[in-house]
Amino acid sequence: MLSKHRIHRLPVMDPISGSPLFILTHKRILKFLWLFGQSFSTPDYHEKSCKQLGIGTWTGIRVVFPDTPIVDCFDILLHKGVSGLPVVERHTYKVIDMYSRFDAIGVALEDRMHQLDITVEQALEFRNSFRSEDNRVVSILDTDCLWTALTVLVQRNVHRLCAIRKNGAIEGLISLSDVINYMVVKPGSKLSTSHSCHRHLYHNNSMHDDFERHSILNRLGENSAILEQQTTNRLNHQLATFTMK
């Protein structure tokens, strides 16, 4: 469901009471696989690189430069279907930072219109004053194996990794959802789904209970979607206002 509906959080409900129990995320699934996966079995693909396995983006990677106007960066994040942009040196394509959708959302929520006439480097200066250089870019070598990528994603608690060459140049991007799709979604699509468990759990529920449960799920999903849409609309409005000046 996380992959199919392109959502980041999924409420897990008590089958009897309909009360929310916890929120399932890509990060929690990945951490479970990392903690317990090798104790169950060690597939051969763990030792292959993400590039060999086709996990991640390896062609047509969108990047920005330190002197790229921040409005151009916003345009890519809003309209090109990406959630994070590597910031690279213009001539070497060495990765020096990352500008994500979360950074753009911060600008929208704080209504910092006066800060749009700046470059990506200037936009990141304030954030980076609280970060060490090692935390600006989380990366692995493009030859590192899948298990290394999984370990770094979990231990560094990040949404994406830059896969770099030995000289530091960008080679690929690997996200949480890329790894989840390969390790969980694709293998799971070959399995048959049994509904007997669901029939047993819901057997004694009334129609009112079912309605309440689905109502809660719908409201949670709608609230998340509304917040993201409002933020996106605000960013689009700010961009339109800025370009009209």
pLDDT digits (tens, 9 = 90+) for 163-186: 999 999 999 999 988 988 888 767
Query: b/e per residue, 118-136, with b = 16+ CB within 10 A?
Result: ebbbebbeeeeeeeeeeee
Helix, coil or strand: residue 60: coil
Q: How confident is the model at residue 27 (pLDDT cuts 50, 70, 90)?
A: confident
Q: What is the pLDDT of residue 203?
A: 39
pLDDT for res 241: 63
Question: Do residues 167 and 94 touch, judged by C-beta distance below 8 A?
Answer: yes
If you compute the radius of gyration of the chain from its CA atoms, what whole number of angstroms results? 21
pLDDT given at position 3: 56
Using alpha carbons, select from 65, 87, 66, 62 the residue that is nearest to residue 77: 62
Q: pLDDT digits over 108-121, tens only?
A: 666 555 567 889 99
Q: What pTM does this model have?
A: 0.68
* Position 107 pLDDT exceeds 80: no
Domains within the chain, CATH numbers bracketed: 47-185+227-243 (3.10.580.10)
| pLDDT tens readout for residues 60-93 | 999 999 999 988 988 888 888 788 999 999 999 9
pLDDT, tens digit, 9 for 90 and up, residues 208-224: 444 444 454 455 444 45
